[in-house]
Structure 1
Amino acid sequence: MNFDKKNLFQADITNCEREPIHIPGRIQAHGFLLAVTPDDYTIIQASENVREHLDILADQLIGTSLNSLQNGTRFQGDVLTDLLKTGLRNQSLETMNPYRIRLHERDYNLVSHQHDNAVILEFEPVMDSNNCQNLQRLLAQSLSTIKASWSMDQLLENAARQVKKITGYDRVMIYKFWPDWHGEVVAEVKEDHLEPFLGLHYPASDIPRQARELYKTNRVRCISNVNQADSALFPVLYANRKRPLDLAHSILRAVSPVHIEYLKNMGVQASMSISLMYQGELWGLISCHNATPRQIDYSARMSVDLVGQLLSAALEYHKDEEDQSFTQQIREAGQTLFSNMLKDWNIVRGLTQYETTALNINSATGAALFFEGKLVTLGQTPSDKDIHGLIGWLQNVDTDTFFQTSHLAEQYPPAAGFSAVASGLLAIPLSRELNEYLLWFKPEQVHSVSWAGNPEKAVNIHENGSIRISPRKSFARWVQEVCHTAEPWKDAEIATALKLREDILHVVAKKANEIRLLHEELRKAYEELDAFSYTVSHDLRSPLSTIKSYSEIILEEYGEEFNDDARTLFTKVIRATDRMNSLIRNIMDYSRMGQNDLLTQLVDMRKLLHRLREDTLVTEKGRPLTIHILNTPPVAGDPTMVLQVFSNLLSNAAKYSRQSQPAVIEVNGFRNEYEVVYSVKDNGIGIDMKQSGRVFDLFKRLDNTGKTEGNGVGLSIVKQIMSRHKGKVWFDSEPNRQTTFYVAFPHVPVAQMNQ
């Protein structure tokens, strides 16, 4: 036999899911079916077993009207026609189900519905064994019992018990679907001699996708006898549509051969399933099995359908009640996080540094925030390297709003290495462009799952090479250990994470808006500062010049007539005006430092430093001062600002070394891989390193500088200039021995200058 692995691989659950079970072209043979047009009630399709009930062949019915069945069949065609007219006109056809009709001395339940552009009439014999009065009593008892159940387990068991009383099946199970659509028996009531199925799991392929969809539209499904041959519909193709009639809502629809084989392998000859819904989706099934054929009357089926609907409502109530406390708790935590982020517009601090953190909005045991280039972790998390790798992988995953999984290693194999702390992942992207994410982790929960037989389907390869999945033949307990799996994320956890994502993005947007407003205010402040600078330079300096000029004139004209004290006072006035002028000039330089654009170019430091040395020696003439200029590598910077840096450093070195005999200043530069560093060293009064935090503060002077003129602005200007150049300034000193200031200018490639 020739076959390839690709074909073998394709023989999976999807083969079952592609089976068109809603158009089988056949019905179960315990009843019969007629399909008529909704306008003139012409019969367009009939089940071939109609002869057993009406003594007429199916092909003889096609094209005739219901009224024509009056003669010889004892069929109340005219009554049915009137019934259909009323039901269709009032759009209440299904509310009249079942309609009791008698044919050949036998009572039938007629169940009708309109679908696929046809009125479908299904006839089932009435089962005498179902007493109506007894059924009402059992139904009332069932409703009372279910209503009185106080816990989820008790609710499910009581529902199964009541369904067994109504239907008489050997076994009634409550079957719950898990997120991956495999099922688990969570409640069971059975005959004593039967092997228990409680706690067993069944793979998703046992009830494929299209079957689950039909359970949502047709809530009760009954199979009366797996050994009874089906009855085909005639004609095979429905009207002119080139396909069989859609029997999605039919109560007689034939069963998939694969499912019949499945039931036979279980030793089941009759079954019934009732859908259990939660918020519009299939939560599970009430599954009934019988070892012998068993037909349940339509009225009894509707009774258990009512039980199923009541149980669905109770499930929703109990589940909501259980989740409500947890949901309320994590929602309140989410609101607290939002408030914390708003306190100072700090996302990281708001999520990680208060009493309530990002770990309080779900049941995760670890969390990681990568924001603005920094990674912050909480609780038990993978290593930083593993988290960065995970974030890189998420970049290639479709995660517009969130990503969640409870078995991360299946989707991201490297996660197997840290599954102990992160088998479950919930991630929300904050900015995919900037690679910013908030992640939560759940640890691995190794546990055993008991399957009803090996969940892997057997693959049969026929002589013609076709491949078919065969239902399991053994349902013996088969235990599987599940690894690399975490507790699933609850809907409330995902919803709260999404809400937090919106809160974070809101804070980011609001912070950006605040920055924009601050920028606008800063622009206005700069304009006001320019006006202030003009006022300082014009309105303040003019009176100072006048004071100085008059003082100099008085001292020159009348100085000889003054005594020594008077001359000294006038000299102090003149010096004070000079200091005031210097202070005003320095304030103006400092205020404009942040506004001027950088004109970056290579500065010839040898030329600049030698010129500054000459200026300094002229200013300090009459005292022993030596200035050594050693290596002078060029620096990349604004020439005017670089001049200000070294002018301030040299003038400070000269000023604070006046008491030294002789005073020596040494300027030296060197280049390393990243920057150009210059040092300016003097042998002056030095700095107490305990006061080093005040050195670069504006208008702050140290304790040992009181006798030396100064205003505490020069080094602040140096600090600001170096910050604008993305450089550094620092110093070391020994009081009364030496002080060395260092400035470092980063390398700037010529191509990047002034871009």
Structure 2
Amino acid sequence: MATSLAGTIKSGADLEACAREPIHIPGAIQPHGALLALDPATLAVMQAACGPGLGLFDAQAAIGRPVAEILPAPLRPLLAPIGAVTTPQYLGMARLPHSARGLHAIAHRAGDALILELEEGIEEEPTEFYHIYPALQAFLGALEAAGTIEELGTLAAREVRRITGFDRVLVYRFDPEWNGTVIAEDGNDRLPSYLGLRFPAGDIPAQARELYRLNRLRLIADADYVPVPILPAGHPATGAPLDLSQSVLRSVSPVHLEYMRNMGTGASMSISLLRDGALWGLISCHNRAPHRVPYHVRTACDFLGQILSLQLVAKERGALAERRIALRAVESQLLARMAAEEQFLDGLVAAPDDLLGLTHAAGAAVVSAGQCRTVGVTPSEDAIARITAWLDARPVEDLFATESLVGEMPGAEALKDSACGLVAISISQLHSSYVLWFRPELVRTVRWGGSPLKPGEVPEGARIHPRKSFEAWKETVRERSAPWDEAELDAAAQLRSAIVEIVLRRAEELAQLNEQLLRSNKELEAFSYSVSHDLRAPFRHIVGYSQLLRQNEADKISERGQRFIDTIIESAVSAGTLVDDLLSFSQMGRATLHPRRIDIGQLVAEVRAQLAPDMAGRAIEWRVGALPAIVADPTMLRLVFQNLLDNAIKFTRGRSPAVIEIGHRAGEGEAIFFVRDNGAGFDMAYVSKLFGVFQRLHRAEEFEGTGIGLANVKRIVEQRHGGRVWAEGAVDQGATLYFALPVGANG
């Protein structure tokens, strides 16, 4: 569009050359005024330029002279405040004798120079800004009633065209890639309509955008003007060219003037729209013929642009705030559901509409602890696993968002129907845990103001030429989803923060509970040890004195009394055994581990020999497989096999023959041992009780025991060696007890 400085460039090198063009130091001004660069200390002229039609002074002859000497007398009073000028300042207007036009004086600083510009006025132009202000009052009132950004733009375009007289006025908005779209337009049909067209970022290079940001208004009154050179070209002391970034008369790039002519415009004016100091867009004005706009009218347009900028920002922020409030309500509902679930991440997928509504996604997935839970339209679990693996390989990011996963992740072309757009939040620094939102490909048509792909013309390497065609050109955009907006990304980030806070809080609670549990276990172990140790002597005394009573006083005790004494001895022995087992159980949690390599085959043989008295008169068939050597604490592992074999011997009583099998098999990262028998077995409905302290699945009258042996096995294997235990069985069909130790522990 007519505010651009370069068209689409033929090559990357040409584009770089355009971006390097020194448009802020052109070394010339437009011909409808004069410029003087003054020494701030003496107000002597260091550099000068004067339009040929003004006849104010001879630029070459002015060098080195005090400014007051070379200016006509009516202009000299305007110089009074010039020494204190820092930022651009309007000094006033004066009329020369025998001229119906005045001269506007504007000053600013550029480096170590004071810049005085004298712009030729227009006949019957307003002489003060307040003459224009009443015309803006109706516009300011209408702005308050506008509901959308497009309505604001339309009002502004209409008002600017009314007070400036341009043929066409556009409001032009930049996207994040600096492409510009015409969102509003007002015209008189002398120039074609560009409403709704998009213009490529290359039309307004970065350095041009920076000039628009620094200097909010720029007028080119005639696209065919002949630039007036500044003399001398460089600073007298440094040789540096004069920086005209803040100048109202700055000459523009020849590329831009050609661009204007290619568009069929003889004059243009731009008004910058800023948001928080950054360029948001432009009000771009075009005229078929050359066209001058009076200085105070331009000032009114600048004022209008500032007001419009504030209104645009307010509308955007208001709409964003409303969306954020709505999404915060959705987030609150998700958090409430998460709080209600034992596994809090289950609360996310329990409310599919809320999870999808948080980012207006078509599908979502929660990946954690090796599980993948999905809602809506998503890729397959295998594809989601590939996406999370790709995310894991990237630099750590709390939030990742793209509307074109195809352009980011290799192999993502096949996923575009469900995952062309992706937002991912990482919810763990240690594990591959994510919440993912997906959007499908959205095929859409973009109307460009001329093909953005059309090459420029650079004949014989001379200089860059802009494109010549601005006819509407349609592009079909593929492999992109609908874009994620700021409110949606903020909502995803807020959810991540909430999840991380829940994880940290639960980790703290778990750590506190674990600390309390460890303390309670130590207290319980100490108590059990103390009680067990203190009870052993009384039970021995009961047994001993009962036996003495039976031996020494047998003739004085009736047969019934003898039975009572036998019951006392039997109960005391049983209680003593229980105390001994309880003492052993408490010691297992306190004893220091002394791991070393153990020959399990030899260990099993020694345990079988130790249990030989319990097998007297029994028909037992032993089936002992090949057992490997492992690393473990030998004393504790001996107790494991002693308990397991003793159980097998005990619960096969009544079987002839009793069959007891001891074997091993390799597991994934662990060594698995088992003891299998053909004895009484157990009901699998009660398997969870099998390894508990004092838990028995058979009556004491059937099988003796204290219910501590298998609890000891569980403690030794799981707590002391980091392994695991489990069992399988059926009533009257035998049982198999397993334990597994990590291979890492076994060297």
Shift of 1:39: 2.2
Q: Separation in 1 of the partners of 2:636 and 2:411? A: 53
Match of 1:57 in 2: 58
Contact 1:613 1:627 in 2 (8 A): no
Match of 1:103 among 96, 100, 104: 96
Deviates more, 1:437-446 or 1:642-651: 437-446
The change in CA–CA distance for 1:33 and 1:677 in structure 2 (over 3 A counts) is closer
Q: CA deviation at 1:618?
A: 0.8
- Post-superposition offset of 1:514: 4.5
1:516–1:302: structure 2 CA closer, same or farther, 3 Å change rule? same
Question: Are the aligned partners of 1:731 and 1:739 in contact in 2 as well (CA < 8 Å)?
Answer: no
Deviates more, 1:152-161 or 1:724-733: 724-733
Cα deviation, 1:15-41, whole Å, max 9, x if unaligned, reads: 332222111111111111112122221
In structure 2, the partner of 1:66 is 67
**Partner of residue 82, structure 2:** 84
Q: Is the 8 A contact 1:166 1:300 kept in 2?
A: yes
For residue 553 of structure 1, the aligned residue among 535, 548, 570 is 548
**Per the alignment, in what secondary structure is the counterpart of residue 419 of structure 1?**
helix
2-side partners of 1:412 and 1:321: how far apart?
35
Contact 2:105/2:119 (CA < 8 Å) preserved in 1? Answer: yes
Residue 53 of structure 1 aligns to a residue whose secondary structure is coil
Aligned-pair distance for 1:646? 1.9
1:474 CA displacement: 0.9
Match of 1:733 in 2: 729
Whole-angstrom CA distance in 2 between matches of 1:239 and 1:577: 117
- Please tell me whether residue 288 in structure 1 is matched to residue 285 in structure 2: yes
Q: Where does structure 2 lack aligned partners over 5 or more consecutive residues? A: 1-8
In 1: Cα distance, 2:545 partner to 2:357 partner? 75
Q: Do residues 655 (structure 1) and 656 (structure 2) align? A: no
Distance in 1, matches of 2:253 and 2:316, equals 34
* 8 Å CA contact 2:443, 2:480 repeated in 1: yes
The Cα shift of 1:435 comes to: 5.0
| Shift in alpha-carbon separation, 1:314–1:76, aligned structure 2, 3 A | closer
Scaled by the length of structure 1, the TM-score of the pair is 0.89
Distance 1:421 1:647 in 2: 59
Matches within 5 A, 1:467-506: 469-506=464-501
Q: Which amino acid aligns with 1:484?
A: E
Distance of 1:399 and 1:524 partners within structure 2: 38
- Counterpart of 1:697, as a letter, is G
- Per-residue displacement from partner, 1:581-618 (whole Å, max 9, x unpaired)? 22223333334445545444443333333333333331
Alignment partners' CA distance in 2, 1:720 and 1:415: 49
Q: Is the 8 A contact 2:169 2:186 kept in 1?
A: yes
Deviations 1:653-678 (A, max 9, x none): 222233x1535132232444655554
Distance 1:584 1:641 in 2: 19
The structure-2 alpha-carbon separation of the partners of 1:215 and 1:588, relative to structure 1 and needing over 3 Å to count, comes to farther
- Tell me what 2:628 maps to: 634
Deviations 1:473-514 (A, max 9, x none): 111111000011122222233334344444444444445544
Aligned to 2:740: 745
What SS does the aligned partner of 1:382 have? Answer: coil
Q: Contact 1:36–1:44 (CA<8 Å) still a contact in 2? A: yes
State yes or no: 1:195 paired with 2:195: no
**Matched residues, percent identical?**
35
1:8 touches 1:467 (CA, 8 Å); kept in 2?
no
1:452 corresponding residue in structure 2 = 449
In structure 1, what residue type is equivalent to 2:36?
Answer: L
Give the direction of change, closer, same or farther, for the CA distance of 1:663–1:251 in structure 2 (3 Å limit).
Answer: same
* Mean CA deviation greater in 155-164 or 330-339: 330-339
Quickly say closer, same or farther: Cα 1:431–1:245, change in 2 above 3 A: farther
Partner Cα separation in structure 2 for residue 671 and residue 467 of structure 1: 82
User: CA 1:8 to 1:472, structure 2 compared with 1: closer, same or farther past 3 Å?
Assistant: closer
Alpha-carbon separation, structure 2, partners of 1:468 and 1:404:
40
State the Cα RMSD in Å.
3.1
| Amino acid in the other structure paired with 1:669 | G
Whole-Å Cα distance in 2 between the matches of residues 242 and 430 of structure 1? 59
- Cα shift at 1:713: 2.2
1:721 lines up with 2:720 in the alignment: no
Equivalent in 276, 281, 299 of residue 279 of structure 1: 276
Q: Separation in 2 of the partners of 1:119 and 1:129? A: 30
SS of equivalent to 2:438: strand
In 1, the alpha carbon distance for the partners of 2:318 and 2:343 equals: 36
Q: Structure 1 residues 589 and 168, CA, compared in 2 at 3 Å: closer, same or farther?
A: farther
Q: CA deviation at 1:48?
A: 4.4
Which deviates the most, 532-541 or 426-435?
426-435
Structure 2 residue 209 is the aligned partner of structure 1 residue 175: no
Partner of 1:15: 17
2:610 is aligned with 1:615: yes
CA distance in 1, matches of 2:341, 2:636: 35
Greater relative contact order: 1 or 2 (C-alpha under 8 angstroms, separation 6 or more)?
Answer: 2
- 1:534-570: per-residue Cα shift (whole Å, max 9, x none)? 3123222222222222222222222332223222222
Q: In structure 2, which of residues 46, 49, 56 is the aligned counterpart of residue 47 of structure 1?
A: 49
CA distance in 1, matches of 2:342, 2:114: 65
Deviation at 1:245, TM superposition (A): 0.9
Give the 3 Å change call, closer, same or farther, for CA 373–314 of structure 1 in structure 2.
Answer: same
Partner secondary structure for residue 81 of structure 2:
helix
Q: Conserved in 2, the CA contact under 8 Å of 1:53 and 1:103?
A: no
User: In structure 1, how many angstroms separate the alpha carbons of the residues matched to 2:11 and 2:363?
Assistant: 38
Judge which range, 667-676 or 30-39, deviates more. 667-676
Larger deviation: 646-655 or 472-481?
A: 646-655
Kindly indicate whether the alpha-carbon contact (under 8 Å) linking 2:405 and 2:412 is maintained by their aligned counterparts in 1.
yes
Equivalent residue runs for 1:337-348 within 5 Å? 348=345
- Rounded to whole Å, the distance in 1 between the matches of 2:234 and 2:683 is 103
Post-superposition Cα deviations, 1:360-387, rounded to whole Å, max 9, x if no partner, equal 5322333444445555444433334433
- Give the alignment's TM-score, normalised by structure 2: 0.89
Task: Provide the residue aligned with 1:381 in structure 2.
Answer: 378
Paired residue type of 2:30: Q
**C-alpha distance in 2 between matches for 1:357 and 1:567:** 78
CA distance in 2, matches of 1:467, 1:402: 47
Aligned to 2:139: 142
Counterparts of 2:390 and 2:456, CA distance in 1 = 35
1:226 aligns with 2:227: no
- Whether 1:28 and 2:30 are equivalent positions in the alignment is yes
One-letter code aligned to 1:586: D
Distance 2:586 2:171 in 1: 79
TM alignment of 1:143-158, pairs within 5 A: 143-158=140-155
Counterpart for residue 4 of structure 1: none
Deviation at 1:236, TM superposition (A): 0.6
Which residue identity lines up with residue 576 of structure 1 in the other structure? S
Query: How many Å apart are 1:152 and its aligned residue?
Result: 3.1
Q: Does the CA contact (< 8 Å) of 2:725 and 2:740 recur in 1?
A: no
Distance 1:390 1:16, change over 3 A: farther
Counterpart Cα distance in 1 of 2:730 and 2:429: 52
SS at match of 1:288: strand
> 1:457·1:471 contact (CA, 8 Å) conserved in 2?
no
Shift of 1:288: 0.9
- Where 1:403 maps in the other structure, the secondary structure is strand
Per-residue deviation, residues 22-80 of structure 1 (Å, max 9, x unmatched): 1111111111111212222121111143x64244311111111122225xx44533x23
CA offset at residue 320 of structure 1?
A: 2.0
Q: Which whole-Å CA distance do the structure 2 matches of 1:125 and 1:48 have between them?
A: 11
Amino acid at match of 2:75: Q
**Paired letter, 2:263:** M
Whether contact under 8 Å (1:617, 1:625) holds in the other structure is: no
Q: Specify whether residues 372 and 671 from structure 1 end up closer, same or farther in structure 2 by C-alpha distance, changes over 3 A only.
A: closer
Distance 1:202 1:234, change over 3 A: same
What is the rounded CA distance, in whole Å, between the counterparts of 1:448 and 1:591 in structure 2?
A: 76
| Distance in structure 2 (CA, Å) of the matches to 1:231 and 1:63 | 20
Q: CA deviation at 1:643?
A: 1.7
Q: Counterpart of 1:626 in structure 2: which amino acid?
A: I
